[in-house]
């Protein structure tokens, strides 16, 4: 039924910028199962390479507390040298301070006014048309219409704690609880998104999915610049 729309979008993508029509990426779904997820390409072909240099622009970032010393609080209180030295790249780092910095790093990546997105890509994202190729993932059994968004492996590997891993007990979905409650809102934290995913995994049912699908109609037309 939507084949004419898919064909038109494919032609427009080819005319808008150089590169493939579809974007394929490895994603982790229900039970940590890895599969290839499909979307219409909305970014430049070098988008993945640009990601490493955009970490400071991530809207999920949590500003770490300014370090006033190279020693952790325990060593400062004891008035001794660091008792837990970690050697990384020929540098000595306090192991506790290192773990604190790692925890301050965001789990997810999302950017306001992402410079990697093409002109057509912005429209496709705002209208959610870029997600339509995932209907093929649903037909293949990789995803469901409703569920938690499948994550890239580098994000999924950060969610291995018992409480967070619960999110992977639910199906991977085209739409979900997070999308209909927080889509387009920049003031959403890492933890809040994870909690919504875990909540869905605990309570998902046919009734819950039906309500989410009805709310998705409104969310689809919600302006989103992230």
Q: With 60 as the cut, is the pLDDT of residue 76 above it? A: yes
For residue 68, pLDDT over 60 is answered with no
> Could you tell me which of 103, 102, 95, 104 has the C-alpha nearest to residue 70?
95
63 belongs to a structural domain: no
On whether the pTM is more than 0.75, the answer is no
* Residue 62 pLDDT greater than 60, yes or no: no
Same domain, 160 and 97: no
Domain assignment of residue 97, yes or no: yes
Owning domain of residue 77: 73-104
Distance CA 142, CA 29 (A): 8
**Model confidence pLDDT, tens digit, residues 11-26:** 999 999 889 999 999 9
CA gyration radius, the chain:
21
Three-state DSSP class for residue 46: coil
111 compared with 124, residue with greater pLDDT = 124
- How many domains is the chain built from? 2
How much is the mean pLDDT over the chain? 79
Banded model confidence at residue 52, pLDDT cuts 50, 70, 90: low
Q: Is the pLDDT of residue 226 over 50?
A: no
Is 226 domain-assigned?
no
* pLDDT tens by residue, 77-105: 666 666 566 555 556 667 666 556 655 55
The torsion of the CA quartet 4, 8, 14, 15, rounded to 10 degrees, works out to 160
Question: Are 148 and 53 members of one domain?
Answer: yes
């Amino acid at each position: 039924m939507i084949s004419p729309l898919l064909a038109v979008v494919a032609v427009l993508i080819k005319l808008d910028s150089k590169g493939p029509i579809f974007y394929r990426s490895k994603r982790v779904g229900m039970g940590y199962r890895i599969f290839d997820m499909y979307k219409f390409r909305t970014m430049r072909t070098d988008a993945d390479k640009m990601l490493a240099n955009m970490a400071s622009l991530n809207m999920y970032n949590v500003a770490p507390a300014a370090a006033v010393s190279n020693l952790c609080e325990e060593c400062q209180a004891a008035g001794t040298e660091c008792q837990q030295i970690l050697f990384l790249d020929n540098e000595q780092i306090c192991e506790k301070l290192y773990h604190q910095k790692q925890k301050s790093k965001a789990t997810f990546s999302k950017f306001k006014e992402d410079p990697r997105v093409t002109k057509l890509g912005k429209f496709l994202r705002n209208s959610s048309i870029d997600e339509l190729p995932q209907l093929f993932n649903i037909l293949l059994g990789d995803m469901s219409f409703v569920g938690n968004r499948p994550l890239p492996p580098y994000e999924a590997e950060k969610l291995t704690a018992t409480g967070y891993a619960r999110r992977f007990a639910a199906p991977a979905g085209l739409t979900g609880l997070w999308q209909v409650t927080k889509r387009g809102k920049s003031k959403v934290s890492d933890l809040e998104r994870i909690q919504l995913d875990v909540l869905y995994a605990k309570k998902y049912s046919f009734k819950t999915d039906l309500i989410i699908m009805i709310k998705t109609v409104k969310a689809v037309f919600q302006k989103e610049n992230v």
